[in-house]
């Protein structure tokens, strides 16, 4: 646990849109961190803070003019730093809770080192078959040098005379390596890299979007999102049925349930039922999505 505290104390200098190098310096001094550029580990906290101040760790700028820190700078930045450290640790602990104990048992296959600040998945149904999905993602990196997000796509019972499954970059990304996976039973799957415009450092964020063309013959009965990252803070799933085509008799959302249960229709008065608009559109905002769980919308035809 102490290593985690040390790590977050250092990260405060760099993390987020508003880094706090003075608070980080005060934290590192007061925590008596073994590796610290201002003073030795066996020095007192007061001495380490004074050495840090003398070397300019707490100086600030007014415009382009440097302002030397006063005698209370170490203590003041330590007080502010404790609040910021507590916030950072709370966020880190929530992340660990989301991972469901991966630190003890090892991360699951397919995990990606990002937190999804927001994800919107829009699925298109033509006739009774899924044809296309557009996914928009707002991500924050949970490790340094994160540059490639893996999109997983699959289609069932793809006829040999139809185009292959295709993953297409749309906004703020480009396609990298593509790995095709043999799933058997007439299913096709791909793991496709979406290369970001720049590599992200831990705490940095970006947005990108891609499209998956699936060309399934149908009938499609549900669309889902599986969380393969630290978690999703705000998840929305949408389905657009063909307005002039057949519409489902019943539509509902599911969350964190076994695969078979996703397709069990709820009772008519169950709040999980979703009304289909006159234009054939349905949507459900799930909010927070926990790591490894599945969320989506299912329906039944006449």
Q: CA-CA distance, 222 to 182, in Å (whole number)?
A: 22
Mean pLDDT, residues 103-128 taken together? 79
Q: Which of 286, 128, 250 is nearest to 294 (CA)?
A: 286
Report d(CA 173, CA 198) in Å as an integer: 9
pLDDT in tens, 208-234: 999 999 877 778 999 998 887 767 889
Residues 155-210: tens digit of each pLDDT? 776 666 666 688 999 999 999 999 888 777 667 788 999 999 999 998 899 999 99
Q: Which residues contact 152 (CB under 8 A, 6 or more apart)?
A: 110, 189, 190, 191, 226, 228
**Residue 129's CB: how many other CB atoms inside 10 A?**
16
pLDDT band at 10 (very low <50, low <70, confident <90, very high): low
The CATH code of the domain at 114-300 is 2.60.40
- 34 pLDDT more than 60: yes
Distances 283 to 11, 213, 235, 273, 277 between C-alpha atoms, Å: 38, 20, 11, 11, 10
Residue 103 predicted with pLDDT over 60: no
∠ CA 291-292-293, rounded to 5°: 95
Of 143, 144, 145, 138, which Cα lies nearest the Cα of 205? 138
pLDDT digits (tens, 9 = 90+) for 74-102: 667 767 777 777 776 676 665 555 444 44
H/E segment holding residue 227: none
For CATH 2.60.40, list the domain ranges present in the chain: 114-300
Find out whether 41 and 47 touch, Cβ atoms under 8 Å.
Answer: no
3-state SS string over 98-117?
A: HCCCHHHHCCCCCCCCEEEE
- What average pLDDT score do residues 127-154 get? 92
More confident residue, 2 or 152: 152
The first and second tokens of residue 116, run together, are 């999804």
């Amino acid at each position: 646990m102490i290593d985690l505290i040390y790590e977050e104390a250092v990260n405060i200098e760099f993390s987020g849109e508003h880094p706090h190098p003075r608070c980080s310096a005060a934290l590192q001094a007061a925590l008596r961190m073994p590796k610290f550029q201002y003073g030795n580990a066996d020095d007192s906290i007061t001495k380490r803070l004074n050495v840090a101040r003398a070397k300019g760790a707490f100086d600030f700028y007014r415009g382009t003019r440097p302002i030397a820190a006063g005698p209370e700078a170490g203590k003041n930045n330590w007080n502010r730093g404790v609040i910021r450290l507590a916030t950072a640790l709370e966020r880190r602990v929530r992340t660990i809770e989301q991972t469901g104990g991966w630190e003890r048992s090892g991360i699951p296959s397919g995990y990606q080192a990002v937190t999804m600040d927001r994800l919107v998945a829009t699925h298109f149904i033509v006739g009774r078959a899924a044809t296309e999905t557009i996914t928009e993602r707002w991500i924050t990196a949970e490790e340094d040098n994160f540059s490639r997000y893996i999109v997983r796509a699959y289609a069932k019972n793809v006829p040999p005379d139809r185009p292959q499954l295709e993953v297409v970059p749309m906004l703020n990304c480009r396609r990298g390596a593509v790995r095709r996976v043999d799933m058997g039973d007439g299913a096709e799957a791909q793991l496709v890299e979406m290369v970001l415009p720049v590599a992200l450092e831990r705490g940095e964020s970006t947005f990108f979007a891609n499209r998956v063309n699936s060309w399934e013959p149908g009938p499609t009965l549900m669309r889902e999102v599986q969380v393969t990252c630290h978690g999703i803070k705000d998840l929305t799933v949408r389905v657009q049925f063909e307005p002039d085509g057949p519409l489902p008799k019943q539509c509902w959302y599911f969350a964190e349930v076994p695969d078979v249960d996703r397709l069990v229709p709820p009772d008519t008065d169950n709040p999980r039922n979703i009304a289909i608009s006159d234009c054939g559109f349905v949507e459900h905002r799930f909010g927070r999505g926990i790591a490894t769980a599945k969320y989506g919308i299912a329906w039944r035809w006449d």
